[in-house]
A = this chain, B = another copy of it.
């Protein structure tokens, strides 16, 4: 990892968290001398990745990021293919749908279809949710056991009273998700909002995204119809991407690194 680039990325990350920061604040946050941070920030600014706050001495994220992210979305094959299917899913279920990809310990929503009831809803594309507290995240983790193992080692953030942070409990969920190809989440990220998600697979069988249906918790649990439509949507998208089988083959089970129980948790063989 190239030091200067690593630091530059950390600067972007800090600005992402704090919105507006001066050089001194940044240097405190990164534990680096002010002059070093200054050089980094100016370099980023030279490419529009960071911008001077109008009014002088503080910095914020820059407009180049918007352009890059727009191209990123255009680049994503999954997204282009999935859109028509998630729209159909939203129509069928009367619910809002999401398509998400993994970004480390989070899920980034790369496409969002509003509930077709005509009400005004906030666009969710670009939002991120902690992976362990979302149905999409659980799907992605269940099929990415290598990463999941690491994640379960760290301590997880609580978002609502219902957020599951116990590694053992999550590992059990992951195992059953890998078996059934469906993940659920009840009020774990946002109170009053639950969701169900399914994996999207590419040609070589990798899970590269997740589709989800968002269900008001008052309507929980979802109708079997909803689950079937979701499954079918995930299968259709995957097929369009060239996947031969769906649901994807179950991965090696997630292993807890520091299990409280002596035996590492494994998925029962079928």
Interface on A for B, CB 8 Å cutoff? 1-6, 8-9, 12-13, 15-16, 19-20, 39-40, 42-44, 46-49, 54-55, 60-75, 101-104, 106, 108, 110, 125-128, 202-204, 206, 208
- The CB with the most chain B CB atoms within 10 A, among A4, A73, A128, is that of A4
Q: A71 to B19, Cβ gap below 8 A? A: yes
Distance between Cα atoms of A63 and B73 in the complex (Å): 9
Q: B16 to A71, Cβ gap below 8 A? A: yes
Give every chain B residue within 8 A of A19 (Cβ-Cβ).
71, 74-75
Give every chain B residue within 8 A of A60 (Cβ-Cβ).
72, 75
Give every chain B residue within 8 A of A49 (Cβ-Cβ).
9
Number of copies: 2
Q: B55 to A62, Cβ gap below 8 A? A: no
- The CB with the most chain B CB atoms within 10 A, among A16, A39, A42, A125, is that of A16
Q: B20 to A66, Cβ gap below 8 A? A: no
Distance between Cα atoms of A54 and B44 in the complex (Å): 28
Q: B75 to A44, Cβ gap below 8 A? A: no
Give every chain B residue within 8 A of A202 (Cβ-Cβ).
54-55
Q: A110 to B68, Cβ gap below 8 A? A: no
CB proximity of A195 to chain B, nearest CB, Å? 19
Q: B66 to A69, Cβ gap below 8 A? A: yes
CB proximity of A51 to chain B, nearest CB, Å? 9
Q: Which of B2, B126, B208 contacts A4 (CB 8 A)?
A: B2
Q: A63 to B103, Cβ gap below 8 A? A: yes
Closest to A56 in B: B204
Give every chain B residue within 8 A of A20 (Cβ-Cβ).
75
Give every chain B residue within 8 A of A39 (Cβ-Cβ).
2
Q: Which of B44, B48, B61 contacts A104 (CB 8 A)?
A: B48
Closest to A46 in B: B1
Given contacts A48-B104, A108-B67, contact A61 B54 (CB under 8 A): no
Distance between Cα atoms of A125 and B9 in the complex (Å): 24
Distance between Cα atoms of A106 and B66 in the complex (Å): 12
Q: A1 to B43, Cβ gap below 8 A? A: yes
CB proximity of A8 to chain B, nearest CB, Å? 5
Nearest first, the 5 A-B pairs at minimum CB distance are A70-B126, A69-B69, A9-B47, A4-B4, A5-B43
Given contacts A5-B4, A5-B8, contact A75 B61 (CB under 8 A): yes
CB proximity of A249 to chain B, nearest CB, Å? 16
Q: B65 to A72, Cβ gap below 8 A? A: yes
